[in-house]
Structure 1
Amino acid sequence: MYIYTVNFLYHNSLLNALKRFFKDTIIYGIAAVLPRVINFLLVRVHTDALPANNYAENTNFYIWAALFSVLLTFGMETAFFRFYKSEE
């Protein structure tokens, strides 16, 4: 009787852990894919709404945003404040 109870509890906790794992996987998967799908669907709206001569300005903005995000990812803002010498 005791062996069956322990086995049932282990089986039940394993199923709960697997359910939680797959639930979290689905949530994080949707969170990773949904912005890309929305961007893909908005391409038509953006190309119709923006004149062709503004494409270069938008491209420059996205290039600078990508550059700054890479610098911030590597912790450059922390390094700047660490090595910044204040005037004494």
Structure 2
Amino acid sequence: MDMFFAYLLIASATPLFLWLDNKKIALSSIPPIILMWVFFFFYMTSSLSPAGHSLMIALFIINVIIAHIAAFLIYGLPLIRKRMNR
């Protein structure tokens, strides 16, 4: 759970860093972040069902995938295009 909370803090700042490069990806990452905070609150208050735990893990995975796609689109793809045009 500590790793989830650490990622939640990092993910919460991600839209701020992505805003100047790609607003669409920054906005698409906000709903999973909000839902992760909601599920974290329910987890901390011990009112999360087993299905809620599964959904929380699924949201975590979705957010990790969005973050990796964003990193590739913003940093990896321009580098690949730059090297292909040489």
TM range (shorter): 0.3 to 0.5
Pair member with larger Rg:
1
Structure with the bigger RCO (C-alpha within 8 Å, sep 6+) is 2
TM-score relative to the length of structure 1: 0.38
